[in-house]
Amino acid sequence: MTRLFGTNGIRGVVNQDMNSTLALEMGQAWGTYLKKTIPRPKCAIGTDARLSNQMLKSAITAGFLSTGCDVIDVGLVPTPTLQYTVKEKQFDAGIIITASHNPPQFNGIKGTADDGTELTKNVEEAIEQIYFSKLFALSDWNDVGSYSTWDGAIELYIKGVLSRVDVTSIKKQQSHVVLDCGNGAGSLVAPLLLKKLGCVVTELNCEPDGTFPGRHSEPVPENLTLLMKKVSETHASFGVGLDGDADRAIFVDENGSYIWGDKSLSLVGKYITQKTKGGITVTPVTTSTCFEDVVRQNKGSVVYTKVGSPIVAGVMKKNHAVFGGEENGGLIFPKFQFCRDSAMALATLLEILATEKRPLSELIAEIPSYEMLKTKIACPNEKKERIVNQLVEEMKNHQEITDIDRTDGLKLYMKDGWVLMRPSGTEPIFRVYVEAKEKHQAERVALFYKNLVESLMQRA
C-alpha cells in the first residue's frame, strides 16, 4: 500500500497536506530514484490552471535540480498534453501539478514514466520509500540540474491528435460545438483543436482560472446545466464539458441532454471495434454492460480490471487492446497514447458524426440501456474481508448467480444483470453497484444484498 500516492497521484489541500516542503522532498526522492538508472535524467513539468501551481512547481523543480536532474518546464497544459510530450520528446519522466476535478483549494502531483503512462504502483512505492527515509542523493555543487522552458507542447499535441483522425471529413461537417472547459487546462487546447477541425465553437468557461468561477470542475450533470441549456438554445451539433486537467470529456447531445460516460464510452468502443473488426477492449468492473454488448456485436472482447485509469491503461498495453476507458468520460486511445485523453475523445466523436451523418442522440439511442443503481452499505473495516468471503460462500450455489468475479471486491452476475460490492479503502462502507434491465429489479437486488450483509455482520 502506498501512503502518499492515491489512484491518481498525490492530492491534498494547499498549504495543509499539499505543501511546498512535501513537493521539494518529493522532487528529491523522485530525482534520487531516477538517478539510480539514468546518469542525467530529463524531466518535463507542467501544471493545470490552479493558483498554487507556481509554488508547488518551483518546490518540486528545486528537488529534481538538487539531485542532478534537468527540468524542462512546458507551462500550463492539460495532463494528456504533458503525457504525450514526455513520450514524443523522449523525456525520462513527467510531472504534472494538478488536482484534476477537485475543488480549488486542492492541488496534487502526478507522475508519468518515460512512455507518458502513469507511474506503476511499484515505482510509486520505490519513490515513497526514498521519500520517507529522507536518504536523498544530492548532487555535487557543480553537477546540479539545469532548468529550461519549452513552449512547443500544445502545438506538438494538437498536431498529434489531428494526425489520428479524418480531418477532411470532419471539416466538411462544419459542426457547431458548445465547449465548456470549466476554466481548466483544456482551455489552452480544445478551442484551438476545434477550430482546426473546421467547427463553429461557442465557448463557455474557456479562460483558465484557478478559482473556477464558471462551474465546479467535475463534469457531472449538476455542473453542466449551462452547457446543456446553451446547446439546445443555439441548436448546436453537440456540447462537450471537460474536467480541470482535461483528461476526461463528457458529451451533451443536440437536444441538450447529458450523455452518461458509459454511453459515450460504448459509442466510441462500437466505432473503433467496427473499424478494427473486433479486438480486445479494457474497462473497470464498474462499467455498464452496454459497453460489452456493443463490443461483442463487433466480435471484440472485454477485459475487466480494478477501478483506476493507470490500471486500465496498463492492462490495455499488456493485451494490445484497441480501445479502453472508464465510465466517467476518461477514454484511452492506444494508437495515440495509453492515457485518458479528452482531445482525442472529442476529435473521435467528430469523426463518428462525420461518418454516420446522423444526430448524436440517434447514435446514443442505439446503445443498449440498463438501469444502474449506486449505493453504500455500512461495514466496519475489520469485518469487510470476512463478510466478502461469507458472501461468496452464501451465493456460490444460489440459483440466481451465473458467475462470480473477484477482480475488484465481489461481482456477482445474474441472468439480467450484476451486483458489485467494493470495500472502500478510506471509509467503513461497501460501495454497491447494481445493474439490471429494469429499475425495480435493480432496487430489489440492492435491498436483498443490504439485508444479507447486515445479517452476516450480526453473525460475524
Which residues, 33 to 92, sit near Mg ion by CB under 5 A? none
Q: Looking at 70, 124, 180, 243, which residue binds Mg ion (CB under 5 A)?
A: 243
Interface stretch with Mg ion, choices 27-35, 150-158, 242-250, 358-366 (CB under 5 A) = 242-250
Closest residue to Mg ion in the complex (CB): 100
Contact letters (x/-) for Mg ion, 88-117, by CB under 5 A? Answer: ------------x-----------------
398 CB contacts (<8 Å, ≥6 apart)?
A: none
State which H helix or E strand residue 23 sits in.
helix 20-35
Binding-site size, Mg ion (CB under 5 A): 4
**Residue 25 or 243 having the CB closest to Mg ion:** 243
Interface stretch with Mg ion, choices 31-39, 239-247, 249-257, 402-410 (CB under 5 A) = 239-247
Interface stretch with Mg ion, choices 121-129, 236-244, 288-296, 423-431 (CB under 5 A) = 236-244
CB of 43 to Mg ion, least distance (A): 21
CB of 330 to Mg ion, least distance (A): 7
Pull the grid cell for residue 287: 462499467
**Residue 190 or 322 having the CB closest to Mg ion:** 190
At 6, which amino acid appears?
G
**Residue 96 or 379 having the CB closest to Mg ion:** 96
CA distances from 217 to 50, 212, 248, 260 (A): 11, 7, 11, 16
Q: Helices then strands (H, E): number in the chain? A: 15, 19
- Cβ-contact 307, 284 below 8 angstroms: yes
CB of 52 to Mg ion, least distance (A): 17
Q: Where are the beta strands (DSSP E) in 113-224?
A: 147-149, 176-180, 200-204
Question: Does 247 help bind Mg ion (rule: CB under 5 A)?
Answer: yes
Which residues, 306 to 325, sit near Mg ion by CB under 5 A? none
**Residue 100 or 273 having the CB closest to Mg ion:** 100
CB of 340 to Mg ion, least distance (A): 7
The span from the CA of 55 to the CA of 8, in Å, is: 20
Question: Does 128 help bind Mg ion (rule: CB under 5 A)?
Answer: no
**Residue 188 or 414 having the CB closest to Mg ion:** 188
CB of 282 to Mg ion, least distance (A): 19
**Residue 106 or 430 having the CB closest to Mg ion:** 106
CB atoms within 10 A of CB 459: 8
208 CB contacts (<8 Å, ≥6 apart)?
A: 49, 76, 181, 183, 184, 185, 187, 188
371-378 sheet: strands from edge to edge: 371-378, 429-436, 417-423, 410-414, 401-405
Q: Looking at 70, 180, 245, 408, which residue binds Mg ion (CB under 5 A)?
A: 245
371 CB contacts (<8 Å, ≥6 apart)?
A: 435, 436, 437, 438, 439, 441, 442
**Residue 247 or 254 having the CB closest to Mg ion:** 247
The span from the CA of 130 to the CA of 137, in Å, is: 10
Interface stretch with Mg ion, choices 114-122, 127-135, 238-246, 342-350 (CB under 5 A) = 238-246
CB of 84 to Mg ion, least distance (A): 15
Active site residue 163: no
Catalytic residue among 20, 52, 66, 100: 100
CB of 243 to Mg ion, least distance (A): 4
The span from the CA of 394 to the CA of 388, in Å, is: 10
CB of 219 to Mg ion, least distance (A): 9
323-325 sheet: strands from edge to edge: 300-305, 279-284, 323-325, 331-332
Q: Where are the beta strands (DSSP E) in 341-428?
A: 371-378, 401-405, 410-414, 417-423
Question: Does 435 help bind Mg ion (rule: CB under 5 A)?
Answer: no
Place of cell 518535463: 44
Catalytic residues: 100
Under the rule (CB under 5 A), what is the footprint of Mg ion? 100, 243, 245, 247
